[in-house]
Structures are given as C-alpha cells and as structure tokens.
Structure 1
Amino acid sequence: MSPRTRAGWGFLAGAMIGTLGGLIGLGGAEFRLPVLVGLFHLPSLEAVILNKAVSLVVVAAALIFRAETIPFDQLVPHIDVVLNLLAGSLIGAWWAAGHAIRMSRQLLNRIIMVLLIGLALLMLSEAIFGFNNGATPLIETGPIRFIVGLAAGLGIGMVAALLGVAGGELLIPTIVLLYGIDIKLAGSLSLVVSLPTMIVGFARYSSSNAFTVLRQERLLFRWMVAGSILGAGIGGLLLGIVPPRVLISFLGVILLISAVKTFKHAH
C-alpha cells in the first residue's frame, strides 16, 4: 500500500470511526487500534503509540467543541472529581506505559485483546442494562469515595496507556455512578481527566524505539487526525438519529469480533 493510499484509507477510517464515536459520545480510539494493526499492519506497540497521538489531538478538539454546550465554568465546581481521578490515572498511565515498552510483543497482543474484549463487554452491558443519569452518587463525599476514585483512576490510566485510548468508555460511567454527575457533564469531565493522563503515557512512550512510528507514519497520522475530527463533528450533528442503545450494542459486537480477530494472531 503506497503512502498516499494509506493516507486516504487513514482519512476514511478516521472519519468513519470518528462519526460512530461522535454518535455515542466517545473518541473511538478503541476501534481505531484494531484498524491500525489489521488494516495498516502496524506492530502492536507502534499502533498503541500512534493511536495515542491521534487520541490526544481528537480529545483536545472534542473538549473545545463541547465548550459551546458545556462551558468550562460548569466544570470548575467539579474540579475535586477531576483531581481525585487524576491522582490515580497519572500513576497508572506512567506505570503501564513503562511496562508495555519492556514486555514481549506477544504478551502485549494478548493483554490488548483481553482489554478490548473487556471494553466490548462493558459496552454491551451498558446497552442492555444502562446506568442512571447521575441523580444519586454511589458513595457520599468522604475518604472512602476518594480511595475508590483513586483506585478507579489507577485502573483507567493503565487501560488508557496500554490501548492508547482516552478511556471515556470507563471514565464516563465511573463519574456518573461514583459521583452522581449528569452524563453530559461527565462526558466533558472525562475529557479533562483524559488529556493529562494521555500526555503522561505519551511522554513515557517517548523513550521507546517504537516512538519513531510517528515520524515514519506522519502522513497517515495527519490524515487520520483530520478524518477523526471531521467524523466527530458529523457524529455530533447526527446525534439522536440512531437509538444509542442499538448503536452501542452493534459497536460492542464489532469491537468484540475485531479484537479477537486482529490480536489473536498478531505478530
């Protein structure tokens, strides 16, 4: 596949994934990772790094776009939630990225497959059972909630670093259920947590030889970013046309199949 052809497919894939992500309020990085490995034949670690780079730009853009609907001054009263989750996620991202650099590619493939399957099952369970809209927090304010938030952030940071994702699929339900925050506001808060978490993981990956993928695949990176941002905008405009539970169920099944098919025999 020539560089121009790869760029074209990157733009198309980014736009399609961005549109689907925009429809359900996610960045779509979970779906982008199997595409980078399966379609563009990138090794797993290089795919994670490139995925994280694209995710960084997309999340920053999404945060700006959402500011029209959810102004930043609405986020300030919930800064304690952000700091609670960040206290764990920054540590988790740094630790997981450091281990991903040193582990064998075969083991990394297996871990990625298991994590993607877990996210797919989470999407399916969310579609089937749903979750409340932030009326009542699971745990009232206090030391116990801080410890639970710290542990949740730690786990989410590790997943985000290992997959190169923003972690919205895990962050949004956590913020809604644990802190009792409205789901739309939780979406913006998750982006605020995701951005520094991804930057820490990205900085940790910079010590790896695989980081050169950003230079080698800079054309693919640029066009995939452009497609992802365009797709996210289109998805936002189409919001409400497809019932969310139907779409999430469909995407959960797609992610489950693609995770197993892509990473079971990846080298």
Structure 2
Amino acid sequence: MSQAEATHPRSIPRLTASWAFAGGAVVGLVGGLVGLGGAEFRLPLLLSVFGFAALAAVIVNKAMSLVVVIAAIPTRLAAVPLTEVASHWTVVLNLLAGSLLGAWVGASWATRLAAATLYKVLAALLVFLAVVFAAERMGTLAALQLAEPVQIVAGVAAGFGIGVVAALMGVAGGELLIPTLVLLFAVDTKLAGSLSLLVSLPTMLVAFFRYSRDQAFAVLGQNRRFVVAMGAGSVAGSVTGGLLLGVAPEAVLVPLLVVLLLASAVKVWRHT
C-alpha cells in the first residue's frame, strides 16, 4: 500500500465538516438505539461514502471509537454503582490479559497487509459481527458453567480474539465483549456494558499507539477538521440514541441493521 493511498481519501464527496458531523451523528444514533457505539456501522461509511482507503478508514474509525468510549464512561459509571463495577476487577484483568496483546497484534497485521487483502478481511469481519449481533439480540445468553482455571484461560483467549478484531476494524469491541462477559463470567447485561468500557479503553489505546508508529497515521492530521466533526457527531448521536434506547422495536431494527452490515460487507469485498 502506498503512502498516498493510505492517507488520502478519494475526492467524493467533499470532506466538509457538516457532512462529516451528519454521518457521525447518524451512525452514533443507530448504534445508541441498540446499545452500541456504532463503530461497526461507521467503518463502511468511511470506506464507501467518504472514500478512505482501508487502513486509513480503520485508523480514523479507531480515533473516533476512542472518543465515543471516553465520552460514554461517565454515563455508564453513573448508571451502575462504582462499587459493583470495582467488585469485578478480576474479570476486567482477565480479559485485558488477552486483549492488550491482541490489540497490538491486530494493529500490526493491519499495517502489514496489502490493501486488497485488508478489504477482504474487513468484509469478513463485518459478516462475523452481523452474525454475532443477530445471535445476541435474537436469543437469551446463558452463562457457561466452567471451572475457574478453564474460565481464566477462556477469558484470556477471548480477550485476545476481541483485541485483534477491535484493532483490525477500529471498533471498541463492545459488541463482542458484552456477550463474552455474560457467557464466561455470568455478568448481567447492564453491568457488562460498564465493564466492557473498562476493557475497551486500554485495549484501544494500545492499538492506537501501535497505529501511531505507521506512516498511515498521518491521515488524522491531514483530515483534522473531518475527524473532529465526525467525532463530535458520533458522540452526539450516541448520546441521543442512548436516551432513545428501546424506543425503536428491536424486531424491526435488528434485521435492518444485520442486512446493512451484510450489504456493507459485500460492497467492501468488491472494493477496488
């Protein structure tokens, strides 16, 4: 991948602050309506609408995911007592033991993959997230009854996989962390949402630091106004969507979002 391809999006449409804010707000709203940050929907937007190359889109998506997670932490901590969150510190450390390494490995892979290969990987991961999203929303997750040593090993392995996926796509990983917390550690969904942020933040910082060592990281400086505007829109949309959580019926919303992810995967796969 050339430096020009990695850092400069193609020129359709103009990367105006207003379009960037609107795109971020829509994505944030959609994500907020289903309790997510929306990064999995922002990535196809960056690739297909704003024309960023694969690696540049991942880096921009990671920067905005980081902003959204930081903005969400005070709200989540207010919704769940700090003492309850703190009592599960071993669970957070268990997942971090794998996710920090996974984030470094995933970001390293992304910077080394050829552009054509990275598009295929991103398309496959979009399909994977669509399947996980549909399975989580359409069924009730039951905690696995694992012996403690097995649970610890499974937590590290799951954390590693989540760290890799989150780094490769530039997402926070909440769509994978929450079901993992429920399945492996028998954490209720509301608490899992708060714990996932505590895992996501350091995991994203590791990936962000790894990306900062690559020349493609210059995309953030070269498109500063765009990044700031879309980041602000993403936060505003996420907050609004969170306030409206449950308003839109999941029986309608979930299938539409799954179709959107699958359609985006096809478009990204065919990207040239």
Q: TM-score range by the shorter chain?
A: over 0.9
What is the rounded CA distance, in whole Å, between the counterparts of 1:82 and 1:10 in structure 2? 34
Aligned-pair CA distance for 1:3: 9.2
Aligned-pair CA distance for 1:98: 0.9
1:72 is aligned to 82
Instruction: Indicate yes or no: 2:45 matched with 1:39.
Output: no
1:60 is aligned to 70
**2:78 counterpart SS class:** coil
- TM-score w.r.t. the length of structure 1 is 0.94
1:194 is aligned to 200
CA distance 1:65–1:202, shift in 2 (3 Å)? same
Instruction: Indicate yes or no: 2:259 matched with 1:253.
Output: yes
Counterpart of 1:174 in structure 2: which amino acid? T
Aligned mate of 2:242, from 236, 239, 245: 236
What is the rounded CA distance, in whole Å, between the counterparts of 1:72 and 1:217 in structure 2? 38
Q: Deviations over 1:133-160 (max 9, x none)?
A: xxxx313451110000010001000000
Counterpart of 1:14 in structure 2: which amino acid? G
Instruction: Indicate yes or no: 2:269 matched with 1:264.
Output: yes
CA distance 1:89–1:249, shift in 2 (3 Å)? same
Aligned mate of 2:230, from 224, 233, 258: 224
**1:165 counterpart SS class:** coil
What is the rounded CA distance, in whole Å, between the counterparts of 2:12 and 2:224 in structure 1? 14
**1:118 counterpart SS class:** helix
Asked whether the equivalents of residues 21 and 235 of structure 1 are also in contact (C-alpha less than 8 Å), the reply is: yes
1:156 is aligned to 162
1:18 is aligned to 28
Aligned-pair CA distance for 1:22: 1.1
What is the rounded CA distance, in whole Å, between the counterparts of 1:6 and 1:117 in structure 2? 30
CA distance 1:244–1:2, shift in 2 (3 Å)? closer
Asked whether the equivalents of residues 91 and 157 of structure 1 are also in contact (C-alpha less than 8 Å), the reply is: yes
- TM-score w.r.t. the length of structure 2 is 0.92
Q: Which residues of 2 match residues 86-97 of structure 1 at below 5 A?
A: 86-97=96-107
Q: Deviations over 1:147-188 (max 9, x none)?
A: 000100010000000000001111000001111111010001
Structure 2 spans left out of the alignment, 5+ residues: 1-10
Aligned residue pair count: 262
What is the rounded CA distance, in whole Å, between the counterparts of 1:2 and 1:161 in structure 2? 26
Structure 1 spans left out of the alignment, 5+ residues: none
Percent identity, aligned pairs only? 52
